[in-house]
Structure 1
Amino acid sequence: MAARTFDSTALVFRLHESAPQLVREVLLERGWMEYNEQEQEEGDWNLYWRASAFRSADFTNVLPWQRLNHHPKTLGITRKDHLARNLKRMRGTFGSALYNFSPTAYILPNNYTAFLAEYTKSRLRNTGKSGYWICKPVDLSRGRGIFIFEDIKDLLYDSPVIVQRYISNPLLISGYKFDLRIYVCVKSFHPLTIYIHQDGLVRFATERYNLSSLDNPFSHLTNTSINKLGPCYRTAKQRVGLGCKWTMNKFRCFLHSQDIDERLLWQRINNIVTLTLLTIAPSVPSSPNCVELFGFDILIDANLKPWLLEVNYSPALTLDCAADVTVKKDVLNDLIDLMNYKKVDVLRQKALLPPKSKSLPRQQSKSPSSLHSNVSLPFVQQKQISSPEKIVMENKRVLLPERVKQNSRHSSRCLCKLPAIHVQKYRLPTFSWSAKSQENGKPPSRVGGFILTFPFNEVTLKASKDNLNVKIAVQEVHKRTAHKNCSGTVAASQSSPTGIDLQWFSC
């Protein structure tokens, strides 16, 4: 078998054994090479991708040309009990009028007495009926261990759980319950920089919603891992169709067909994302070479109010249907563009890491910590580049083979093409974007399908720097929420000065 050869001008990715196969496919399509520890030095990679958390040493030893796909210490929103505690703390600090997008949660067994008091109070208010409650294990995913109950006698658990009021009046499409998977990228926590992807997934339950059958997961839960095992998954369901997923574009078609003010809805979702991330932003250590993709799960009720269900760490990147292919491949490609790779990253890497000598024992090769001492301060500062848009273009123009550019990425978009629809245009943040402004620390307003949602004006830009001023950031979100254009009156469309129609999120 021929020996494997490496392109010395290619970026190199390293995957942990649990990393999704889609990540490998996307990076290979972009012209990257996969890391091989037998043929390359220990630090000879540009991106290390894990589904699980990195060790503290990984964050400490990361080199200037490298990126990690997780920030440290984000468990505060991705584990259900930690999220509940943090949202409760923020409600106490900033008021329930703003932090009212998640049902109050009780962490059991610790908060059982408080839950029992609320349960009893509800029964007294509602002539013996307490309403509906949902119980979730604090650290499981994919719908495992979740159940809905009305009578406290049915509340059985053998591990820590959270209990919340069940949102029993969800918005339905032809009688089917659904939620939204929103893809959020935190480019940085210091300064806090948040992007939301304009595409996402709509995930349906595969049997019609019915409160008289609380034990039917195919009626009440929207997790794909559950519904693809249901009897109706492969049948054509009224308006929903086959399977259990739509793209977000198809959902927008539905909103327009129902004359629903989508602009207001997306603004509320934007606020939920920002206010949730502000709960942990000050406690996340600075990690400039990291980027994080979160999956925010949002439920919309019959009054068109969005509710935060949970925040997913390493959201699933498996491809179960055409909608997955359409959405997830674009999200991954745009995420790589956000990482700001450029040709100099390869040059630095090759300059500091000589080719591996087969005669040299492995233990004598340079470690990342020893390499760090060889990097001078001016060299590290060269990481900053004046134009992030130029980075994206350079990555595509210089680092990708022409054949890959033409055939790989765009082919995935054609697998599930949806009709174009007219949507309200996104208004750019209120400060101007230019190459000069980006030199001054202002992030690009858009990279691919990722749209900047924080900072969104000069005040939040200033508040996000150095030590994040959460109070000012929250106040600005509150002002935007109270703005007359966000109260139900849709403002006139405004075009981007760059000529791009930005569709989502900001009033």
Structure 2
Amino acid sequence: MSSQGEDRALIFRLSDNVPEVVRQVLLERSWQEWDEDLHEEYDWNLHWRTTRFRVSDYNQTMSWQRLNHYPKTDAITKKDCLARNLRRMRGVFGPTVYSFSPQAFNLPNDYTKFVAEYTKLKQAEPDKPHFWICKPADMSRGRGIFIFRDLGELTYDCQAVVQRYMTNPLLISGYKFDLRIYVCVPSFHPLTVYIYQEGIVRFSTEKFDLSTIDNVFSHLTNTSINKFSPSYSTDKERVGPGCKWTLSQLRTYFHQSNLDDRMLWQRISNIVTLTLLCQVPTVPKAPYCCELFGFDILIDENMKPWLLEVNFSPALSVDCQADLLVKKPMLHDFVEIMNFKESDCERGGQEFRASKINASYSATSPRYSRTLRRRSSFNSKPSPRGSMLSTGNGKEDISTPTNNNNSTQARVSTSKPKEVQTPRRRYSYPLNRQSNPSAQVGNPGVNRTETSRRVSVSGTPTSMTSSRPRRPLYQRTTNPTQDSDNKSRAQGPLPRVGDFILTYPFNEATKKASWPNVDQRSIIRELQR
């Protein structure tokens, strides 16, 4: 039984394998950790897992609780599902909109199609080598990935994805790199998207060379692989030791190298939103969730971004200074987006706890269940938290079941949860419209400067210690009525929470196109403006 002091603190519950930095961040925020010897099973506010929750976990979540994963997000977080859904959206809305991912085939189902494409390219350009990359569909950290040129080199013993290998990546002093972009989704219904201003740049540790496609240290950027490279700790030209930068370091490099990145971040935001719209139809309404995705983006020599994959439960371990500068502040802001209220510390209050005790006493009676009536199952219609989103009439758009705290008896729950039947197709939106100057995401509502996140790495740009305010990566048109942090969150999603920038919805038209049903073609028109 929790004490009175603990009733006034938020409580977090961590499953196995959660990185230590998550615990550190929550303790720094004066949270307390759940203890099975001190707390009841329901007596927590945030449950954090690196794996997926069970359906029953979502059905039993109370209004004061949050889960860090939505159900059924594998439409974009499994490589084969992502390839299939992007191909489907490309067929519906055209290759002009969905042209941000390399051509891909799912094996073994698409093997015949892949062979046909391989043969066509060989016949069209017999003297030009064409490279492909094969990835296991449901593995992470670079495991099982290999690059090949000849069809005879393709071998696989599990479901896999074969993609055109990008042979023209943008290089820094000859080293390949990609971006880890952190994306927070506090709501899928309606879709609400925040992109973190900072991020991780991951380098290969040996120079890019197409004549050595079997050298993983040259072609893969996964930290889990490159930390074993003989060159990992060496001071590499312009890159420095290790294999990571922050996005701020990359932007400084672009500036010093006279590379125009003005459209790059807009395009990345477009990619994020378009990809998430592949996922919207399959996610049941589960309002007390908040998801952090990791989008892996490769930039080619023409400064065009390409989506490589979307990571479920992106790695949060802290291996270097760049990790520390990015991940810890990002987690603080992620918790802010969850928008816990002071009343959540009560976790139902004394009357609720008394009813739980009485329910356990009556468990031997067949008339009563062991649990109170829960919030909802997937076939109910709760809206995202009213503190973040509104119906437009000034009232909170939130559907929270009322626990009958005046009764000492538990409510019987006899119905089984049913999945929502949703349309098969949904679509996504754009980025970086010219914002109202007073509503710029770079507006110092949060007074953070580049010096607060700067890391000094040997061989990296020397101007990284500049104290100039960070130029916003992602800009959106925001409603002027949302321009002040003093406005209630019930007015709509905040344009900025810490360094998380609201990138969708970005105007009234996209709000209307997202709720209650997704108007895909209207969204496309807004995206292309």
Q: TM-score, normalised by structure 2?
A: 0.79
Shift of 1:474: 2.5
CA–CA separation in structure 2 for the residues paired with 1:381 and 1:108 = 38
Is the 8 Å Cα contact of residues 65 and 288 (structure 2) preserved in structure 1? yes
- Contact 1:183–1:293 under 8 Å retained in 2: yes
Match of 2:137 in 1: 138
Aligned to 2:348: 349
Deviation at 1:354, TM superposition (A): 3.5
1: CA distance, partners of 2:74 / 2:384: 32
Asked whether 1:95 is paired with 2:141, we answer no
**245-254 or 342-351, which moves further after superposition?**
342-351
What residue in structure 1 maps to residue 403 of structure 2?
none
Instruction: Go from structure 1 to structure 2 and tell me whether the alpha carbon gap of 1:383 and 1:115 turns closer, same or farther (over 3 Å shift).
Output: closer
Aligned partners of 2:375, 2:185: CA distance in 1, in Å?
Answer: 28
Deviation at 1:137, TM superposition (A): 0.4
Structure 1 SS opposite 2:528: helix
CA distance in 1, matches of 2:234, 2:64: 49
Contact map agreement 1:41 1:356 (CA 8 A) in 2: no
Q: 1:295-330 deviations in whole A, cap 9, x for unaligned? A: 000000011110000000000000110000010001
2:480 corresponding residue in structure 1: 432
Query: Which residue of structure 2 lines up, in the alignment, with residue 416 of structure 1?
Result: 455
Amino acid paired to 1:452? L
Structure 1 stretch displaced more, 414-423 or 350-359: 350-359
Residues 416 and 4 (structure 1), Cα distance of their counterparts in 2 relative to 1, 3 Å cut: farther
Q: Which residue of 1 aligns with 2:164?
A: 165
Q: Give structure 1 stretches of 5+ with no counterpart.
A: 375-379, 389-408, 480-507
Alignment match, 1:372: 374
Distance 2:159 2:361 in 1: 45
CA distance in 1, matches of 2:272, 2:183: 8
Specify which of 384, 387, 409 is matched with residue 386 of structure 2: 384
Q: 1:372 to 1:207 in 2, by over 3 A?
A: same
Q: Please identify, of 457-466 and 312-321, the stretch whose mean Cα deviation from structure 2 is larger.
A: 457-466
Tell whether the 8 Å contact from 1:120 to 1:130 is kept in structure 2 after alignment: no
Partner in structure 2 of residue 115 of structure 1: 114
Tell me the CA shift for residue 7 of structure 1: 2.9
Say whether the 8 Å CA contact 2:133–2:163 is kept in structure 1: yes
| 1:165-201 deviation per Cα after TM superposition (whole angstroms, max 9, x unaligned) | 1000100000000000000001100110000000000
* CA deviation after TM superposition for structure 1 residue 359, in Å: 13
Counterpart in 2 of 1:464? 514
Instruction: Tell me the residue number matched to 1:77.
Output: 76
Q: Given that residues 296 and 310 in structure 1 are in contact (C-alpha distance below 8 angstroms), is that contact kept between their aligned partners in structure 2?
A: yes
Asked if the contact 2:297–2:306 (Cα under 8 Å) also holds between the matched residues in 1, the reply is yes
**Residue equivalent to 1:28:** 27
Matched residue, 2:441: none
Q: Alpha-carbon deviation of 1:344?
A: 1.0
CA distance in 1, matches of 2:325, 2:220: 23
Tell me the secondary structure at the aligned position of residue 330 of structure 2: helix
Q: Residue 387 of structure 2 contacts residue 490 of structure 2 at CA under 8 Å; is this kept in 1?
A: no
Deviation at 1:221, TM superposition (A): 0.1
CA contact (8 A) 1:275 1:474 kept: no
Change (3 A) 1:415 1:77: same
Q: Does 1:451 align with 2:490?
A: no
Question: How far 1:209 moved relative to its partner?
Answer: 0.5
Residue 362 (structure 1) shift: 9.8
> Which secondary structure does the structure 2 equivalent of 1:262 belong to?
coil
Distance 1:445 1:423 in 2: 17
- Which residue is equivalent to 2:223? 224
Aligned match of 2:153: 154
| Letter in structure 2 aligned against 1:372 | R
Shift of 1:385: 3.8
Which residue is 1:492 aligned to? none
The reply to whether residue 52 of structure 1 matches residue 69 of structure 2 is: no
> Which one-letter code corresponds to 2:455 in the other structure?
C
Distance 1:276 1:383 in 2: 23
1:301–1:367 Cα change, 3 Å: farther
Partner residue of 2:198? 199
User: Given that residues 134 and 147 in structure 2 are in contact (C-alpha distance below 8 angstroms), is that contact kept between their aligned partners in structure 1?
Assistant: yes
1:465 is displaced (CA, Å) by 1.6
Distance 1:248 1:201 in 2: 6
* Pair 1:326-2:333 in alignment: no
Equivalent residues in 2 for 1:473-484 (5 A)? 473-479=523-529
Q: Shift in Å at residue 350 of structure 1?
A: 3.3
CA–CA separation in structure 2 for the residues paired with 1:163 and 1:382: 37
Q: CA RMSD in A?
A: 3.1
Amino acid at match of 2:178: D
Cα gap change, 1:258/1:352 in structure 2, threshold over 3 Å: closer, same or farther? farther
CA distance, structure 2, for counterparts of residue 180 and residue 35 of structure 1: 35
Matches of 1:357 and 1:186, distance apart in 2: 32
- The change in CA–CA distance for 1:170 and 1:414 in structure 2 (over 3 A counts) is closer
How far 1:257 sits from its partner (Å)?
1.0
Q: Percent identity?
A: 51
SS in 2 for 1:326: helix
Q: Is the 8 A contact 1:11 1:45 kept in 2?
A: yes
Output the CA distance in 1 between the equivalents of 2:160 and 2:258: 39
How far apart are residue 99 of structure 1 and its match? 0.3
Q: Is the 8 A contact 2:208 2:218 kept in 1?
A: yes
State how far apart, in whole Å, the 2-side matches of 1:355 and 1:317 are.
39
Deviations 1:417-442 (A, max 9, x none): 74235765564424223379866652
Query: Cα 1:7–1:101, aligned 2, differ >3 Å: closer, same or farther?
Result: same
Cα 1:362–1:140 change in 2 (3 A) is farther
Match of 1:503 in 2: none
- Name which of structure 1's ranges 122-131 and 297-306 shifts more when overlaid on structure 2: 122-131
Q: Distance in 1 between matches of 2:385 and 2:512?
A: 22
Local SS of the residue matching 1:141: coil
Task: State the 1:282 CA deviation.
Answer: 2.2
CA contact (8 A) 2:178 2:202 kept: yes
Distance in 1 separating the partners of 2:494 and 2:94: 32
Tell me: CA distance 1:180–1:158, structure 2 relative to 1, closer, same or farther (3 Å). Answer: same
CA distance in 2, matches of 1:207, 1:24: 35
| Structure 2 contact 133–148 (Cα < 8 Å) conserved | yes
| Aligned partners of 1:300 and 1:307 also within 8 Å | yes
Separation in 1 of the partners of 2:360 and 2:371? Answer: 18
1:239 maps to 238
Q: Structure 2: give runs of 5+ residues left out of the alignment.
A: 377-381, 391-447, 457-463
- Whether the 8 Å CA contact 1:44–1:353 is kept in 2: the answer is no
Aligned to 1:261: 260
Q: Which amino acid aligns with 1:454?
A: Y
1:34 partner letter: E
1:349 positional shift:
3.1
Alpha-carbon spacing, 1:124–1:362, altered in 2? closer, same or farther (3 Å)? farther
Question: CA 1:321–1:362 in structure 2 vs 1: closer, same or farther (change >3 Å)?
Answer: farther
> Counterparts of 1:220 and 1:82 in 2: how far apart (Å)?
24
